Every structure is written in C-alpha cells, then in structure tokens.
Structure 1
Amino acid sequence: MSRRVPAQAPGCTVSVCRGCCCGTPKIPGVDHKAQLTRLKQALAGGSRVRATECLDVCEHGNVIVVQPSAQGRAAGGRPVWLGLVNDADAIEDIAAWVRAGGPGIADPPGILDLYAFSPSRRVRQALPGGGAEPA
C-alpha cells in the first residue's frame, strides 16, 4: 500500500473579477491582462490567483478578493474585498501582503485600507469558494 504525501498547504486564494465591468474597456487606462499576469507571476508557487466571472459589485471595479489560507482562517482571517484596484502600485501592495501571509497572518499595508469595502451578504456568499464575511 502506498502512502499519500499531503500536499503543501496552499497559501491565499486571490480572486480577480473579470466579469461584465472589471477587466473590460469600461474601466479605461488599465492594462487588465497585465494586471492579472503580474499577480500570477508575483504569487506563483505560493498562492492561487484566479480570474472569476462578475462578482456583482461593478461600482467597485476592478475588484480583487483575497481569501485567507487555511492557517490564516484558523488565526481568524476572513476574505478581504478590495475595489477600484486600477493601478500597478496597488497590485504590488496586494502581492507583497499575500506573500507575507495575507488575512489572519499579516497586516495589510495601510494603503490597502483605501481599497477595502464590504459587499452585501448575498454577494459575499456567491464568491467561488464560499467568501465569508469581510475582514
């Protein structure tokens, strides 16, 4: 009988909205493809980055949701919703925070407070992977 070796515990999951408004020309001046590529490159090997369909908070586009790792959730971390993420510096700040551990493990850079918002319960529950209450 072969023994299963448990996979390394995954880091945070970063969901990048690419629905009806986020990731489209409706938000001009943003290289949406480069934004997603940069996050994937910056977090490769440690956290999962995925594009999602519309998260139904279009007024906050571009939206990124950082879901805690299992360790972060055990430490009390909850998903953090970030809106109006339309510049490269914000992407770098998000990536640095996630590399440091993300929700429940590391405090986000103070600048990310300007991007954080609380969506409705209905919207949170629709997040793939079961987005719970925001931090």
Structure 2
Amino acid sequence: MTRGWIRPGATRPCSLVVCRGCCCGDPRKNPGTDHAGQLERLRQAAAASGGRLAVRTSDCLGPCGQANVVVVQPSTEARRRGARAAWIGWALDDDCLDDILAWVEAGGPGLAEPPATLALQMIDPPADARRRAR
C-alpha cells in the first residue's frame, strides 16, 4: 500500500508530534495547562511557517509520567546529517512552547542547538520508539 503523503525523494520539514492521549492533554492530570490552546498555537505557527513546520497529534507516545510530551522530528536535511528526533517532556507552559518554536525556527534537531532550558526537558524515548528509529 502506498501512502500519498510520503514520496521517495521528497523533503519533509521539521515536525512536531504532540501527544494528546491518556495523560497528555488531560486537564485532570495537569489542570493549570490550556491544552487546547497549546495545540492551536502550534498549529497556527505551522500554518504561518510557509511549509517549514508540520504539526500532528498522537493518541499516546508512551512516557505518561512526563506528560505533556512533544516529539520534535528533524527535517529531511537534518536526517541526512544524522539527526534523530528529540523527545521533550513536561511541555506544560508558554515558555516551553516558545523554546520549541524558536528551536524549530532555527532549524531544529541536527541543525541548531536547542535552548538550554529546553535541553533540560529532553527525555529518553520509550524503548519501542528507539527500536523503530534504528
């Protein structure tokens, strides 16, 4: 089966995978966070990026103890240089979103260093994600 959105040789922008499953995005777990507002802000940034950023959601990425989780996936260019996805935990406030968006604007994983505060929030991906990345 061929997926129309993945073309051989196509270049992909840096993309954000925003967990919105059992724990992430749940106001009962993190009641002080505007989960819907966060997602809308990221989607607006993607729309304004001119194709340099894509945003999608996932039902559950796994590390529920570090909710909210956002995975920053490198662009095609960065992957060619050996970059891997960066997993960010505790993405609960505007400061964290500011850091993520600034990093992506600068190029994201493999092309730019993350802000120091964001680097402190990076987490290890679950074991099954590491196996898929090899």
- Could you tell me the TM-score, scaled by structure 2's length? 0.83
* Cα displacement (A) at 1:8: 7.4
* Cα displacement (A) at 1:124: 4.0
| Letter in structure 2 aligned against 1:54 | C
Counterpart CA distance in 1 for 2:67 and 2:18 is 10
Q: Percent identical across equivalent pairs? A: 50
Q: Which of 41, 60, 81 is matched with 2:44 structurally?
A: 41
| RMSD value, Cα | 1.9
* Cα displacement (A) at 1:96: 1.0
| Letter in structure 1 aligned against 2:79 | R
- Could you tell me the TM-score, scaled by structure 1's length? 0.83
Equivalence map 1:1-135=2 (5 Å): 9-25=11-27, 26-44=29-47, 45-125=51-131, 132=133
* Cα displacement (A) at 1:86: 0.5
Runs (4+) off by over 2 Å: 6-10
- Gap runs ≥5 in structure 2: 1-7
Counterpart CA distance in 1 for 2:66 and 2:13 is 25
CA deviation map 1:64-104 (0-9, x unaligned): 00010110111121000000010101101101111111111
